[in-house]
Amino acid sequence: MQAETLSGGFANPAVQSAHAFRSVMEAMARPGTLQDIAGAEPPAPLSKAAGSVLLTLCDTDTPVYLAGDADCDAVRAWLAFHTGAPLTGPSHCMFAVGTWEALNPLSVYPVGTSEYPDRSATLIVECEALTQSGATLSGPGIKTNAALSLPSVQAFQQNRALFPLGLDFILTSGSQLAALPRTTEVS
């Protein structure tokens, strides 16, 4: 077992996960805003932000799908040690993490059922950079409109059309994150 497997978790889990969760919640409640998140030092290729989100939200109850390069021994071992989350394929995951290209196609993830729309996957999308420019966002959580650099416009429009079903997205880059719930209109 490698040293990096055991390190890089929260040193003070209760307090660090509380701060990390507030960043995730603010991002999900206010699409288009960029939030700082810290605490985790995951092995490559995971960003600190993606690692912190995983430590904050995942445990033995949440099947996780590692997409593309994220599905490597280092990440598998790190996630297993720190969260105990079972690994699974995209069709049964609650959380998925990877680059946009690796996560696609989106049609394979659970979008919830009409009676339980909450039983849908949350995708953690690793991005090169996050900026408040590009696609225009509107909807709940946004006063008038906001802008966010998104890997696609059409995919999010199709996701919005499924409402109240659909996927929710957390976009991560370095130690920053933004979120795009299914309610957000993208143009």
Partner 1 sequence: MTDQDYNFAYLDEQTKRMIRRAILKGLAIPGYQVPFASREMPMPYGWGTGGVQVSAAVLTPEDTFKVIDQGADDTTNAVSIRSFFQRTAGVTTTTKTSDASVIQTRHRIPEEALTEDQILVYQVPIPEPLRFLEPRESETRKMHSLEEYGLMHVKLYEDISRHGHIATSYAYPVKVEGRYVMDPSPIPKFDNPKLGDMAAIQLFGAGREQRIYALPPYTQVVSLDFEDHPFEASKADHPCGLCGAEESYLDEVIVDDAGGRMFVCSDTDYCDARQAAGYKGKDAA
Helix (H) / strand (E) containing 156: helix 154-161
Neighbour tally for 172: CB within 10 Å: 27
> Least separation, in Å, of the C-beta of 164 and partner 1?
5
Where along the sequence are the contacts to partner 1 (CB under 8 A)?
13-15, 17-19, 21-22, 24-26, 28-30, 56-59, 61-62, 94, 113-118, 120, 122, 140-143, 163-164, 168, 181-183
Contacts 24+ apart (CB under 8 A), 140-146: 140/181, 140/183, 140/184, 141/28, 141/29, 141/30, 141/31, 141/181, 141/183, 141/184, 142/30, 142/31, 142/32, 142/184, 145/32, 146/30, 146/31, 146/32, 146/33
Closer Cβ to partner 1, 61 or 105, answer by number? 61
Closer Cβ to partner 1, 118 or 133, answer by number? 118
> Least separation, in Å, of the C-beta of 144 and partner 1?
9
Closer Cβ to partner 1, 72 or 165, answer by number? 165
> Least separation, in Å, of the C-beta of 168 and partner 1?
5
> Least separation, in Å, of the C-beta of 125 and partner 1?
15
